[in-house]
Structures are given as structure tokens and as C-alpha cells.
């Protein structure tokens, strides 16, 4: 890529394939700090695969992923693992909370899982700040079973951002929520990304939340090579 990398997240056109015949092709992405992108597509179109490519978990067969002027897709597995720990905050549809831990302990979990992160007073202060940002400071001692669906998702968002993540990747974050909560969570993700000067990418099939984000990208399923040749 020959740009000046003025954006926080940039890609060239990305391609990825699996032995099963799965094919993914995604046009170039450019996101500045604080900007958000909704990625839409039917189930199986490759939305989750794209998030994995952006985080460096998967490598594209063609194309490059750049973050903060570093080409993540050309670096070693160790570099990409450290990149995810330090820079990527992941939010999932199923929340991924540990039921035996309190809300605060769930938010601090990344510091216990990764020895490259230090669980100190600053980390605890950030956790309390994030819980305040998502409106859960008063419930920090509660356990997941004592929370509503929306509160569980907000806990997961706080956990994704507590390490200072500058790339927020959310995979169907509103999929398990009631219709009334979907717009609240989508807006919360967008607003937190803006205030944190982070790039936000949300994979969703829910058309009702698309307008909450700065722009949208549609992924369409790609036919397997043998099917393309027959067309």
C-alpha cells in the first residue's frame, strides 16, 4: 500500500478462501480514529471472517491490513497475537461472560488471561471508568445472572475496551437483544468508539441498526471457483 496511512484502519481489497470452497472478497476499507463501519450480509457471507482478518487472527490470501501505519497482515504470528491483546477489543453476540465472576472481575479478565497486561491500580481505575461509561458502575459487584441481557452486553463492551483498545470489532452484538435494546447498544458502541478515538467495525445482519454507524459495507457470498467457471 502506498498511501500515507492517515487513517487508523486501512485495507486494500481483501481475498480469503478455505479448502471447503468458501470465497471472500471485500473492497478496501478506510476508517479514521473515531469512525464506525457496519458490515452487513447474510449468514455465511463472511462477516465474522472479515473481523478475523482485521484482527490478524486470519491472514488474507490477497491484500493487506494496516493499523496505525503498521501492516498487520505481513507480520509474524507472535506480533499479531500481541496486536490483538493490545489493540483489539472484541464484542460477541453471546457476551462471553464468566458466570462465577462479578461484573468488575469480568471486565478485568483480560488482565488475568494475558501476562503482557498488568493488573494494577491504573487497570482497575480504567475498569471503573468503563463501567461508568456503560452505566454499570453501581452494579460492579453483581454477577452476570443478576443482569439483564442489555446489561450483560454492556459489561462485555466495557471488557473489550478496558485495555485501551483502538480497534473495536463487534460480531452481531445486538443479535441476542430485544428490539428495544438493539438501537441503544449500537449507539453506545458508536459513541464509545468516538470518545475513545477508536475504529469500530460491527458485523450485523440487522438492517435496523445500520444507520447508527458512519458507513456501511455489504458482503455478498462468492461462488466457489468451479461454479464461477460454469457461469
SS (HEC) of 55-70: HCCCCCCECCEEECCE
Q: Is residue 127 part of a domain?
A: yes
Q: Is residue 3 part of a domain?
A: no
Q: Is residue 207 part of a domain?
A: yes
Among 4-8, 41-45, 125-129, which is the least confidently predicted range?
A: 4-8
Confidence bin at 180 (pLDDT 50/70/90): confident
Confidence bin at 93 (pLDDT 50/70/90): confident
Total structural domains within the chain: 1
When computed from its CA atoms, the radius of gyration of the chain, rounded to whole angstroms, is: 18
106-129, pLDDT tens digit by residue? 999 999 988 888 999 999 999 999
- If you search the block for the grid coordinates 457496519, which residue do you land on? 38
Residue 25 to residues 53, 168, 186, Cα–Cα distance (Å): 12, 21, 26
133-143, pLDDT tens digit by residue? 999 999 999 99
206-217, pLDDT tens digit by residue? 999 999 999 999
Q: Is residue 176 part of a domain?
A: yes
Label residue 229 left, alpha or beta by phi (over 0 means left) and psi (-120 to 50 means alpha).
alpha
Q: Give the whole-angstrom CA distance, residue 189 versus residue 186.
A: 5
- If you search the block for the grid coordinates 453483581, which residue do you land on? 142
Residue 1 has a pLDDT of 42
Boundaries of domain holding 172? 9-230
Burial class (CB in 10 A: 0-12, 13-18, 19+), 128: middle
Residue 110 has a pLDDT of 93
Q: Is residue 2 part of a domain?
A: no
CATH number at residue 181: 3.40.50.300
Residue 79 is placed in which grid cell? 506480533
Q: Is residue 35 part of a domain?
A: yes
Question: What does the pLDDT average to over 80-101?
Answer: 91
Q: Is residue 29 part of a domain?
A: yes
Q: Are the beta carbons of 93 and 175 closer than 8 angstroms? A: yes
Strand order in the sheet with 199-204: 88-92, 167-171, 199-204, 36-40, 215-218
Q: Is residue 14 part of a domain?
A: yes
Amino acid at each position: 500500500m502506498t498511501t500515507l496511512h492517515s487513517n487508523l484502519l486501512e485495507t486494500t481489497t481483501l481475498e480469503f478462501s478455505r479448502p471447503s470452497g468458501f470465497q471472500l472478497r471485500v473492497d478496501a476499507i478506510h476508517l479514521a480514529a473515531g469512525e464506525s463501519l457496519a458490515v452487513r450480509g447474510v449468514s455465511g457471507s463472511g462477516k465474522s471472517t472479515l473481523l478475523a482478518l482485521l484482527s490478524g487472527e486470519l491472514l488474507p490470501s490477497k491484500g493487506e491490513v494496516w493499523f496505525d501505519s503498521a501492516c498487520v497482515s505481513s507480520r509474524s504470528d507472535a506480533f499479531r497475537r500481541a496486536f490483538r491483546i493490545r489493540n483489539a477489543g472484541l464484542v460477541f453476540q453471546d457476551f462471553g461472560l464468566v458466570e462465577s465472576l462479578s461484573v468488575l472481575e469480568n471486565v478485568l479478565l483480560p488482565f488475568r488471561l494475558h501476562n503482557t497486561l498488568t493488573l494494577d491500580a491504573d487497570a482497575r481505575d480504567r475498569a471503573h471508568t468503563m463501567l461508568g461509561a456503560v452505566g454499570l458502575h453501581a452494579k460492579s459487584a453483581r454477577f452476570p445472572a443478576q443482569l439483564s441481557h442489555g446489561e450483560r452486553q454492556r459489561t462485555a463492551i466495557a471488557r473489550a475496551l478496558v485495555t485501551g483498545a483502538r480497534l473495536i470489532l463487534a460480531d452481531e452484538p445486538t443479535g441476542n437483544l430485544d428490539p428495544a435494546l438493539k438501537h441503544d447498544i449500537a449507539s453506545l458502541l458508536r459513541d464509545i468508539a468516538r470518545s475513545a478515538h477508536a475504529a469500530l467495525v460491527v458485523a450485523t445482519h440487522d438492517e435496523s441498526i445500520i444507520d447508527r454507524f458512519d458507513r456501511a459495507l455489504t458482503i455478498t457470498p462468492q461462488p466457489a471457483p468451479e461454479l464461477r467457471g460454469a457461469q
